[in-house]
Amino acid sequence: MKNLQIKNSQFGLIVSLPGLILLLLWVGLPLMLLIFVSFTRYDVINPVKFVGLQNYIYLFKDRIFKLALTRTLIFFAGSTLVTFLFSVPAAWFLSRIRYGGTLIRTLIMFPWAVPLIVSGFIWGWIFNASYGVLNHILTTLGIIKENINILGKSYLAIIAVIIADSWTRIPFMTILTLAGFTSISKSLYEAASIDGADIFYTTWHITLKLSKGPILTGLLITSIFSFRTIDAIFSLTKGGPAKATYVLGMLDLDYIYSYLRFGLAGALSIIMLVLCMLIAGIYVFFLLKE
């Protein structure tokens, strides 16, 4: 045919080539530069100098790095857990209602539209020590006697940033889990109920066990996003009080923005990248086992 002068495979290569170049320029190039920078002493005072693994060695010995690593693990694990504890029941309830499903689903999506930096502000206003609505609710209920400075106490500040972060992640996880739940054949439930299975049995053995794939996928995404995003912490606590919420991303930002030590920031970026891949790898292992 005249309109198809070149082969399909040639056409595919030509049309996708600009996109491929875009990917290489936008991801390949920065990645190479990052790897290079991580092996150099790169700051604003001295000339750039190759130093081998010194940046990595410095970080692994650094007390602040270890502290930030611990905080990161607590933060991302906590955020994933809270997201899970809200999303799976929400999806389960949604799969069992007959009326209003679309409306409730739309309402559940709302926090997803909130930029994390704004989520941090919104929760900061709720947690506020002097005017915060949460303090009012807790004192009215008699749970606390007088207002507490939630963001001023280390152990409470961690919980606060976990809430502000997971709050925006619940919608997506819920939708993904719900997609898993609703793809299960109705006949399985009917067969189980004929056998006399009760709701605990069917929920555990059918609903949850057959949705392992979507739930694991959702947890994977929640985990790596919580691991690498610091916006909520940034607007809520800025890493405080007394570095209680100082995660690796905050340290990275300080190296770039405050200390201007790009070599160390590079090494730290590589470490975060490897940790992220490690987390993803663990989930993919379990997903493939399914």
Partner 1 sequence: MSIRGFLNSVFEHKATPYVGLGVILIFLLGPIYWTLVTSLKTLPEAIRWPPSYLPGDITLSAYRDVLTRSPVPQYLFNSAVIALLTTLIVVIASVFTTYALSRYPYKGSRTVLLGFLVVRVIPPISLILPFYLILRQLGLINTRMAVIIYCIYLTYPLSVWMLKSFFDQFPQDIIDAALIDGTSRLGALFRVVLPMIANGVAAVAIISFLWTWIEFLAPFLFINTDELKPITVGLYYFIGDETIYWNSLSAGAILAVIPGILFFVLAQKYVVSGLTAGLGKE
Residues β-bridged to residue 41: 49
Q: Which stretch binds partner 1 (CB under 8 A): 54-62, 70-78, 153-161, 254-262?
A: 254-262
With 0-12 / 13-18 / 19 or more C-beta atoms within 10 angstroms meaning exposed / middle / buried, residue 161 is buried
Of 78 and 124, nearer to partner 1 (C-beta) is 124
Alpha-carbon distance of 9 to 275, in angstroms, equals: 38
Q: Using CB under 8 A, which residues numbered 98 to 157 contact partner 1?
A: 102, 104-119, 121-126, 130-131, 133, 136, 140
Q: Using CB under 8 A, which residues numbered 32 to 61 contact partner 1?
A: 33-34, 37
Residues β-bridged to residue 49: 41
Alpha-carbon distance of 233 to 75, in angstroms, equals: 10
**Cβ neighbours of 48 (radius 10 Å):** 13
For position 196 contacting partner 1 by CB under 8 A, the verdict is: no
Nearest approach, Cβ of residue 5 and partner 1 (Å): 9
Nearest approach, Cβ of residue 52 and partner 1 (Å): 19
Nearest approach, Cβ of residue 111 and partner 1 (Å): 5
Q: Using CB under 8 A, which residues numbered 166 to 185 contact partner 1?
A: 167, 170-172, 175-176, 179
Of 33 and 64, nearer to partner 1 (C-beta) is 33
For position 187 contacting partner 1 by CB under 8 A, the verdict is: no
3-class DSSP state for residue 83? helix
Give, in order, the Cα–Cα distances in Å from 156 to each of 40, 159, 161, 205. 39, 5, 9, 37
CA dihedral for 135, 136, 139, 142, sign (positive or negative)? negative
Nearest approach, Cβ of residue 12 and partner 1 (Å): 3
CB 145 within 8 A of CB 105: no
Q: Using alpha carbons, select from 167, 117, 128, 123 the residue that is nearest to residue 150.
A: 128
Of 179 and 188, nearer to partner 1 (C-beta) is 179
Of 88 and 244, nearer to partner 1 (C-beta) is 88
Q: Using alpha carbons, select from 169, 170, 165 the residue that is nearest to residue 237.
A: 165
For position 94 contacting partner 1 by CB under 8 A, the verdict is: yes
For position 1 contacting partner 1 by CB under 8 A, the verdict is: yes
For position 269 contacting partner 1 by CB under 8 A, the verdict is: yes
Q: CA 225, 210, 78 angle in degrees (round to 5)?
A: 30
Nearest approach, Cβ of residue 229 and partner 1 (Å): 7
Nearest approach, Cβ of residue 67 and partner 1 (Å): 18
Nearest approach, Cβ of residue 22 and partner 1 (Å): 6
Contact flags string 205-234 toward partner 1, x per CB under 8 A: ------------x---x--xx-xxxxx--x
Q: 16 is written with which tokens?
A: 């996708």
* Residues making up the chain, counted from first to last: 290
